[in-house]
């Protein structure tokens, strides 16, 4: 598995280790004074339905390009030092990691804002699609809460 410093944008099937990604981003600059993370995990209920598993598909190349654009825009607009974005694809069990965003900056304020903006933008614009398996069948999720 590659480390965050080898690629700050990753779409992968394998799981990731949050603490490894935090340690990797800390090595980018000695000026980092605040790190904010968002970790999305597979939940058991959605819209009142019990979910047994999730499956994520993506548009290769286009999804990576969009994630990189989000990263670059967050660094520019919020003045952070670096950002890591990882999204898993394929089958994911309940409770497993799905997406990780790590924003590192000199202070906490810009990292919180950048992290929240990045996950909202990812869900709004990135060609990654979620299919939930429920007791009544499979459902493609259209909306982004």
Q: What is the pLDDT of residue 130?
A: 95
Q: What is the pLDDT of residue 137?
A: 86
Q: pLDDT by residue for the chain (145 residues), tens digit each? A: 333 445 899 999 999 999 999 999 999 999 999 999 999 999 998 888 899 999 999 999 999 999 999 999 999 999 999 999 999 999 999 999 999 999 999 999 999 999 999 999 999 999 999 999 988 888 888 765 4
Q: What is the pLDDT of residue 144?
A: 56
Domains of the chain in start order, with CATH, are 9-141 (3.90.1170.40)
Q: Which two tokens stand for residue 137?
A: 């069948």
Question: What pTM was computed for the model?
Answer: 0.92
Q: What is the pLDDT of residue 2?
A: 37
Rounded distance, CA 44 to CA 55, Å? 13
CA torsion sign for 20, 67, 92, 60 is negative
The neighbouring-strand residues paired with 101 are: 38, 85
Pairing of strands 34-41, 49-58: unpaired
Question: E strands within the chain?
Answer: 9-12, 34-41, 45-46, 49-58, 82-88, 90-93, 97-105, 128-134, 137-141
Q: What is the pLDDT of residue 4?
A: 41
């Amino acid at each position: 598995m590659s480390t965050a410093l080898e690629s700050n944008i990753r779409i992968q099937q394998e799981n990731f280790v949050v603490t490894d990604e935090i340690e990797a981003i800390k090595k980018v600059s000695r000026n980092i004074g605040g790190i904010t993370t968002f970790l999305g995990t597979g939940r058991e209920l959605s819209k009142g339905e019990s979910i047994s598993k999730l499956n994520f598909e993506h548009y290769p190349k286009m999804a990576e390009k969009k994630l990189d654009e989000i990263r670059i825009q967050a660094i520019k607009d919020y003045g952070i030092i670096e950002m890591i974005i990882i999204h898993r694809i394929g089958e994911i069990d309940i409770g497993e990691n799905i997406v990780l965003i790590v924003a590192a900056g000199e202070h906490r304020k810009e990292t919180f804002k950048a992290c929240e903006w990045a996950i909202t933008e990812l869900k709004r614009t990135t060609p990654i699609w979620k299919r939930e398996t429920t007791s009544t069948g499979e459902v493609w999720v259209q909306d982004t809460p």
